[in-house]
Amino acid sequence: MEETVASPLDARTQTELAAALLAIDPVGFGGAVVRAPRGDIAESWLTMVRSLLVEGTPVARLPISIPDDRLLGGLDLAMTLATGRPVAERGLLARTDGGVLVLPCAERASDALIARLTSVLDTHRTAPRGPFAGEPAPARVAIIALDEGDGVDEHTAAALTDRLAFHLTLSTGIGTEGVLFTDADVRAARARLPQVTISDPRITTLTTVALAFGIDSLRAVSFAVRVARGAAALDGRNTVSNDDCQVAAALVLGPRATRLPASGDATAEPEPPPPPANPTDAESERDELPSPEELQALEDLMIQAMQATLPIGLTIEAPSQRSRSGGSSGRSGDDRAGGIRGRQVGTRRGDPRGGGRLDLLETLRAAAPWQRLRPPIAGQEGRVLVRVRPDDFRIRRLVEPAGTTAIFVVDASGSAALHRMAEAKGAVELLLAEAYSRRDEVGLIAFRGSAAEVLLPPTRAIAAAKRALAALPGGGGTPLASAIDRARELVGQARRTGNDTVVVFLTDARANIARDGSPGRPQAEADAVASAHALRGLGGTTVLIDTSPRPSETAQRMAEAMGARYIALPRTDAQGIHAAVAAAMPRATT
Amino acid sequence: MRIPFPFSAIVGQDEMKRAILLTAVDPTIGGVLILGHRGTAKSTAVRALPALLPPMSVVDGCRYGCDPKSPTSRLCADCQAHLHAGEKLRAHKAPVPVVDLPLGATEDRVVGALDLERALTRGEKAYEPGLLARANRGYLYVDEINLLEDHLVDLLLDVAATGENVVEREGISVRHPARFVLVGSGNPEEGDLRPQLLDRFGLSVEVTTTTDLDQRVEVIKRRDAYDRDPEGFAAQWAEADAEARRHVERARKRVDTLPVPDAVLRMAAQLCAAVGTDGVRGELALLRGARALAAYDGARQVTAQHLRVIAPSALRHRLRRNVLDEVGSTTRVTRAVTDLLGD
């Protein structure tokens, strides 16, 4: 193994390093989240990992719709019924003990599945359902989450990704054959890993860099230390060198960065004290305490290594927005109807192992007509009262009360912008404050200049809302069409989660920026009307609050095009907006 | 099974550790709500709990983990039946249960339900106990409790308050003891809990990732040591955990008889009035918390100092929230404490 790791690591090297490191100690690294535009790219990386794993390591796919009994273990219902005695079925987690689980479409996994996976990653064991399902079983697994979301509206739950060491973004095909590492390298590294040590100053440097890049989770730094040790083992050394720290920075810290080091931050000084001539080579085989200068140089090297893996858009995005990319807001895995909670609206044929609640009476009713036709089970004559086949199972159809998503679309153009924004923020917070008891969410779009921007994706968290609303500039043109288009997108998203929507426009509706961002009133108005018609087509409740000094015809026309209720509210205030919106909101059925 | 990271080896997060330890001293304090970002040792602390709790005596074969020494009325129906039949309850030592309640768990799973297997294969109507039964006399841990269905949170708090799980469904009618400490954790940025629910937690703590570099480095070093050799690391901290356990045991013996002077009672009431908490829950939590703390500290009686220390945990989640007010709840409690008790 004489490959000197180029600095910064190129994409190809990173990909192969991640595969080899994961194969050294899959369980220790927790796994990886792999973002790729196409399924086959992620698959080829998987093939690479598989070729490096210890022979015989179980690798299984974990469909996100997996029922609890299959995942955790439980009673094998069909066998139990067929044999007339309890037959336990081991869950996928227990069967994959010591191996790797591949979770496709991870961004769509439900909160429930994520909770089970994080628990198994924390405790390394799984408790099956039910008393006959057997004892808690060891389940030391790694999870490779394949994320096909767009990374903005859809992303894998942060609770899971926080527990996976590697965050990879693959853009191009990589082939399935690694060229840098063989399975013999990986095997040697596996044997060496327990002996590899890391010096305290290097741990400090990794921690410092993580802090400077706004990586709060200490799990991330822990993984960085682990990865550094793995990289040393892979390179056939017993002590972690600067190169290894660079690998850790690129693979673990870079993708988790939430901000760039603040200016004035020691770490970000562009000119460190005289850097050693060639620190990469000089450092690697010694483990004496590095001097402060050398540590500074190491920090810089790490930061350099991270450049390639920083999240896209990090430079322009406010840290507050990125750090909230955790919630369940972006995922759409939980169907509201046909779920396992809520009120019953009937029954349907189905498998209760899928998490549905069995309707016993209906099941027996379904089984009853067939009793004479079903032969008794050998040896069970007379003991079985009712012969029930899996076909008979009836599960309850439940409907969860849907909530309401209120989307505020606020005109931040012109002179009255600041006042309007402040009052809209007030109204958003008032609505959120009373949204507890319902499943209501509130989002906010602001438009000014040449385009509209989603300031607050629909949420019910006050903390997130407050941060998003904290600062907003005003002034400039009125891109109404763009604003309506963004509103339509949010309406579509909310509908997919089963919510009703209320869209509230706060504007004088004097559009003067066309959809393509060019100025000019006639085109701007035509575009706005076209967008308004499209919004109307989506249905749902829309309210247009006219903020011009006197009720204007333009605003009334726009309201009509949207199918919106028109309210003139020249002296906009938070209470007034709140009252108008509350009146327009369809009440949830809780 | 994985060896848990030792409780005593958790760096910092003193308020969280204290709140958890106090529930071990006096489980009637009520649940603990831990709010904070990811990677702040929330799960670690809860999963490390069993090592701090002295093993308990459990009736052999009891599905609810009954205590053989508890009064008959507090035993489950099975154990009561045994006693009535003139049998003696045999017991063994078992670790205090710390049960995970995963998000998305159905009500059936939590409260228990008809035992399908026996119903279908033997035609018997039998009750299959749920997670509440397993958590009896121990802890029930809900990670991301703010994402849990509201009706489940309600149910948990109801059961935790009454100490009894009553199941009436699908033709089953069962009641069994379910005394447990509810520990919920979550990231407030991902959703809030309803104020009614917040109020019903005994203590709440806000954990933040420390930005102190030395502390962070220490965390990582210990974690690295643990990752490399979990057994060795656990052995290294075993004595510290055992010391904490003995401490808890001593405090438990003292807590019930610890006097609370009238002056301290008055102070607690004044404090609650000053921050404007509704109802008596705040006062109760404040007093019980202060008493458990005094017992843990080995004090002869509860003092104003104990109130001062516990006040933020006991009260901050009960404040009426004014969304347009930027001052945090913790600050408001601290201010009231300073006004009342001086610096």
Question: B287-313 pLDDT, tens per residue?
Answer: 999 999 999 999 999 999 999 999 989
pLDDT reported for residue A133: 54
Option in A116, A140, A221 nearest B220 (CB): A221
User: Residue A388's pLDDT band (boundaries 50, 70, 90)?
Assistant: confident
Range picked from A131-135, A379-383, B9-13, B192-196 for highest mean pLDDT? B9-13
Q: What single-letter amino acid sits at B179?
A: R
pLDDT higher than 80, residue A173 = no
CA A170 – CA A41 distance, rounded (Å): 7
pLDDT tens digit sequence for A108-136? 888 778 888 988 898 888 876 655 555 67
As a whole-number percent, the residues of chain A with pLDDT over 90 amount to: 12
Give the pLDDT band (50/70/90) at residue B317: confident
Instruction: Kindly list the residues from chain A whose CB atom is less than 8 angstroms away from the CB atom of residue B188.
Output: 461, 463
Residue-level pLDDT at B292: 95
Tell me, which fold does domain B7-55+95-207 have in CATH?
A: Rossmann fold (3.40.50)
Residue B334 has pLDDT above 80, yes or no: yes
Probe site for chain A from B49, B142, B189 (most A CB atoms < 10 A): B189
Residue of A nearest to B195 (CA): A436
Question: Which pLDDT value is given to residue A289?
Answer: 53
Averaged pLDDT score across all residues of chain B: 85
For A353, nearest residue in chain B (alpha carbons)? B116
Question: Is A420 in contact with A473 (CB distance < 8 Å)?
Answer: no
Q: Which residue in the list B18, B179, B245, B281 is annotated as catalytic?
A: B281
pLDDT of B144 reads 83
Mean pLDDT across B157-162? 83
pLDDT score at B289: 94
Q: What is the mean pLDDT of residues A373-391?
A: 67
**So what's the pLDDT on residue A225?**
93
Rounded-to-integer distance, Cα A217 and Cα A228, Å:
18
> Amino acid identity, residue B125?
K
At A334 the pLDDT is 36
The per-residue pLDDT for B237 is 93
- State both tokens at B35: 């709010």
Q: Mean pLDDT, to the nearest integer, of A546-555?
A: 81
Measure CB to CB from residue A436 to each of B41, B121, B194 and give the nearest one.
Answer: B194
Are B323 and A323 a contacting pair at CB < 8 A? no
Domains B7-55+95-207 and B262-341 alike in fold: no
Q: What number of CA atoms fall less than 13 Å from residue B206's CA on the CB side?
A: 10
Assigned CATH class of B262-341: mainly alpha
B281 is catalytic: yes
Residues in chain B with CB shorter than 8 Å from the CB of A85 are: 121
The residue with greater pLDDT, A429 or A334, is: A429
Per-residue pLDDT reduced to its tens digit, B96-138:
898 888 776 777 788 887 776 666 666 677 788 888 999 999 9
Question: Kind of pairing, strands A88-90 and B56-59?
Answer: unpaired
Query: Whats the size of chain B, residue-wise?
Result: 343
Residue A419: Cβ within 10 Å count: 14
Flag the least confident range among A560-574, B210-224, B255-269. A560-574
Arithmetic mean of pLDDT, B129-155: 85
Q: Which among B10, B35, B38, B125 is the top mutation candidate for probing chain A, defined by the most A β-carbons within 10 Å of its own β-carbon?
A: B38
Domain boundaries, chain B: 7-55+95-207, 262-341
pLDDT bucket at B173, cuts 50 / 70 / 90: confident
* Coil/strand/helix, residue A349: strand
In this chain, the answer to whether the domains covering A1-193 and A404-584 adopt an identical fold is yes
| Contacting residues of A for B103, CB less than 8 Å apart | 111-112, 114-115
Asked if residue A196 has pLDDT above 70, the reply is yes
- Report the pLDDT value the prediction gives residue B325, as an integer from 0 to 100: 53
Report the pLDDT averaged over residues B330-343. 80
Q: What is the pLDDT of residues B58-98, one digit of tens each?
A: 998 888 888 888 888 888 888 888 888 888 888 899 888 98
Partner-chain residue, chosen from B41, B147, B192, that has the shortest CB–CB distance to A111: B147
CB distance A509 to A546 below 8 Å? yes
Contact between chains at B143 and A115 (C-beta distance less than 8 A):
yes
Residues of B in contact with A219 (CB under 8 A): 38-39
Residue A477, pLDDT above cutoff 60? yes
Pair type for strands A142-147 and A100-103 = parallel
Give the separation between CA A27 and CA A97, rounded to whole angstroms: 9
Q: Is the pLDDT of residue A550 over 50?
A: yes
Query: How far, CA to CA in Å, does A578 sit from each of A21, A486, A569, B79?
Result: 54, 22, 12, 57
CA nearest B66: which of B112, B133, B115, B157?
A: B133
CB contact under 8 A, B192 and A136: no
User: Which member of B1, B107, B117 has the closest CB to residue A130?
Assistant: B117
Confidence of residue A320 (pLDDT cuts 50, 70, 90): very low
Query: What residues of chain B lie within 8 A of the CB of A116, using their CB?
Result: 102, 104
Tell me if B316 sits within 8 A of B329, measured CB to CB.
Answer: yes
- Among the ranges given (A224-233, A346-355, A577-586), the one the predictor scored with the smallest mean pLDDT: A346-355
Quote the pLDDT of residue A494.
81
Confirm if A58 and B98 have CB atoms less than 8 A apart. Answer: no
> Domain boundaries in chain A?
1-193, 196-323, 343-399, 404-584
CA angle A317, A320, A323 (to 5 degrees): 95
Question: What is the ipTM for the molecules in this complex?
Answer: 0.75
pLDDT, residue A329, reads: 33
Class of domain A1-193: alpha beta
Which of B2, B64, B110, B117 best tests the A interface by mutation, with the highest count of A CBs <10 A?
A: B117
**Confidence band, pLDDT 50/70/90 cuts, at residue A437:** very low
Predicted local confidence at residue B117, as pLDDT: 64
Q: What is the pLDDT of residue A178?
A: 61
Task: Determine the average pLDDT of the residues in A490-518.
Answer: 83
Q: What is the pLDDT at residue B302? A: 93
Task: Determine which of B110-114, B169-173, B339-343 has the lowest per-residue pLDDT on average.
Answer: B169-173
* CA–centroid distance for A202 within its chain: 31
Predicted confidence band at A272 (pLDDT cuts at 50, 70, 90)?
A: very low
Look at the domain A404-584 and name its fold.
Rossmann fold (3.40.50)
